[in-house]
């Protein structure tokens, strides 16, 4: 899956709405929606904030696989 799909699946699995997550990481809901639609990508600072809040790694968000190559996010 693509970054946009991984982000959306993980956000939902953690119980966050787009508005809630956006507020926590300091961006607009519209910006988060664009990430989830694959229109834009976050800068490194926002990516690190996403990583911390969602309890994942940037690598897992981008690739959808763990360090061991296991599929992390399943729809």
As a 3-state breakdown, the chain gives helix, strand, coil percent values, each rounded to 5, of 60, 5, 35
Mean pLDDT, rounded, for 19-40: 97
**Domains of the chain by start residue, with CATH:** 3-63 (1.10.260.40)
Q: What is the pLDDT of residue 43?
A: 96
Please enumerate in sequence order all residues whose Cβ is within 8 A of that of 72, keeping only pairs 6 or more positions apart, or say none: 6, 56, 60, 64, 65, 66
Q: What is the pLDDT of residue 75?
A: 47
Instruction: Report the distance separating Cα 1 and Cα 75, nearest Å.
Output: 9
Beta bridge pairs of residue 65:
71
What tokens were used for 29? Answer: 């809901």
Mean pLDDT, rounded, for 35-42: 96
């Amino acid at each position: 899956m693509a970054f946009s799909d991984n982000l959306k699946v993980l956000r939902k699995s953690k119980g966050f709405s787009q508005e809630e997550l956006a507020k926590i990481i300091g961006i607009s809901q519209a910006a988060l929606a664009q990430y989830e639609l694959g229109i834009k990508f976050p800068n490194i600072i926002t990516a690190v904030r996403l990583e911390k809040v969602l309890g994942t790694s940037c690598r897992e968000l981008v690739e959808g696989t763990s360090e061991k190559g296991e599929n992390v996010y399943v729809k």
